[in-house]
Chains A and B, each alone.
Chain A
């Protein structure tokens, strides 16, 4: 229950929660467990939510067929040359395969998230943590140890708890809100661990976030490409 109260106090930006985490034994291990457990829980509930949506929602295959039939039976389709019709078909297939990006349920993709999400969250945590540590210790002359800081920084994952609502079909949680909230938690972690002033803690947070953007995008892009590729291969398998 102690870690749970620390979790929720950290979510609501109580500085004493971050101090308690800093002073805790094996804070790094506890932080790691919090990240992995929350990532797995979010992934499981998102998967369940997509499965509920598939079970209760309309048959997307029938809708896809209806749209395709409309296209090929339209008066304007007959005016397109055969090469253009083939290209239009490829664009249609490609567009349809991207429907999960626009909210269509994707249980297969969500199943992959059981592995991908914890890996991405851990990678983001380490990247942010190392960059922030280097900046705070060497550029801003703060005092703190990396393992202790990483343990406290794990509390920056607490706002992701709202993603548990994805168990309900069609729920989308505002990414900007969660990212900014996480950044506020990271700011408090930096302030508490390195003993920096408000202004210095702010600059370490912002500069770290800017420097970490490129590796964040690269890692997310890498896993998205792999998962999309595997899904495309699986969808091409005979039923």
Chain B
């Protein structure tokens, strides 16, 4: 248990020993996965709780409709009549759908509760989906740059970059403060983001047994490929469609 808890604190302190152990452990990926699950469930508890709380405390449809009409009145009064009609018709549709969704409050709350539980349980998957695909690309590039990481070793080290996200609940709570909340939440988010990147660089370097400079290079090349790659594919697709269009046009004329 003590070893498992150290998987949370040691990456945060940029203690390289944890990555040394993870690099060679046969259970590296499983241990790092469990770290992601714990962090994800903790953050997801807040996100899911807030989602359900919003639904529970939401005003009834009539009150929402009144508030929305009141908020739109200054804009509607200054619009040309035809535009005002279109917007009012669209708003009425929105109110009608809102009423249908909230028709049975108990059913609505049960649905939102189940969705919040789903959001909670799938939070770790969000982190995995953000890290694993990119890490596989970086692993390929790192191997080309002389790295020696194994697949489970690389994943076992880089997934530990999720540990700064233990601060996310603080960011979420600060974000709820009126006026300055968004700013404070944003600062916490920025700290988390930068801290994660630093841990990720160290993880890549330690997993591959090479320098931090090569680690940064592998990551930057990976970023370039992940941005440029899809753009190039899209361009190739457009060119292909263009050529097919010309050939099809030529065959029918």
Separation of A19 and B30 alpha carbons in the complex (Å): 18
Separation of A169 and B118 alpha carbons in the complex (Å): 7
Separation of A189 and B89 alpha carbons in the complex (Å): 59
Chain A residues positioned under 8 Å from B107 (CB to CB): 56-57
> Is residue B217 within 8 Å, beta carbon to beta carbon, of the partner chain?
no
Chain B residues positioned under 8 Å from A15 (CB to CB): 26
> Is residue B93 within 8 Å, beta carbon to beta carbon, of the partner chain?
yes
Q: Which listed residue, B89, B101, B122, B152, touches A171 by the CB 8 Å rule?
A: B122
Give the residues from 82 to 125 in chain A that come closer than 8 angstroms, CB to CB, to chain B.
none
Is the beta-carbon distance between B86 and A169 smaller than 8 angstroms? no
> Is residue A66 within 8 Å, beta carbon to beta carbon, of the partner chain?
yes
Most buried by B among A67, A73, A168, A181: A168
Is the beta-carbon distance between B27 and A14 smaller than 8 angstroms? yes
Is the beta-carbon distance between A168 and B100 smaller than 8 angstroms? no
> Is residue B97 within 8 Å, beta carbon to beta carbon, of the partner chain?
yes
Could you tell me how many residues of chain B have their Cβ less than 8 Å away from some Cβ of chain A? 38
> Is residue B213 within 8 Å, beta carbon to beta carbon, of the partner chain?
no
Is the beta-carbon distance between A58 and B29 smaller than 8 angstroms? no
Chain A residues positioned under 8 Å from B110 (CB to CB): 56
> Is residue B125 within 8 Å, beta carbon to beta carbon, of the partner chain?
yes
Shortest Cβ gap from A90 to chain B (Å): 21
Instruction: Take A12-B30, A58-B100, A75-B86 as given contacts and tell me if A171 and B129 are in contact as well, using a CB distance cutoff of 8 Å.
Output: no
Is the beta-carbon distance between B151 and A184 smaller than 8 angstroms? yes
Shortest Cβ gap from B134 to chain A (Å): 10
Is the beta-carbon distance between B132 and A180 smaller than 8 angstroms? yes
Q: Which listed residue, A62, A75, A180, touches B89 by the CB 8 Å rule?
A: A75
> Is residue A139 within 8 Å, beta carbon to beta carbon, of the partner chain?
no
Give the residues from 97 to 140 in chain B that come closer than 8 angstroms, CB to CB, to chain A.
97, 100-101, 103, 107-108, 110-111, 114-115, 117-118, 121-122, 125-126, 128-129, 132-133, 136
Is the beta-carbon distance between A58 and B125 smaller than 8 angstroms? no
Contact with A along B24-38 (1 / 0, CB 8 A): 001101100100000
Is the beta-carbon distance between B118 and A170 smaller than 8 angstroms? yes
> Is residue A74 within 8 Å, beta carbon to beta carbon, of the partner chain?
yes
Chain B residues positioned under 8 Å from A12 (CB to CB): 27, 29-30, 33, 152
Separation of A15 and B30 alpha carbons in the complex (Å): 13
Is the beta-carbon distance between A14 and B115 smaller than 8 angstroms? no
Give the residues from 2 to 58 in chain A that come closer than 8 angstroms, CB to CB, to chain B.
12-16, 52-53, 56-58
Chain A residues positioned under 8 Å from B128 (CB to CB): 177
Shortest Cβ gap from B64 to chain A (Å): 15
Known: A12-B30, A168-B115; 5 extra A-B contacts, CB below 8 A, are A15-B26, A56-B107, A59-B100, A162-B125, A170-B115
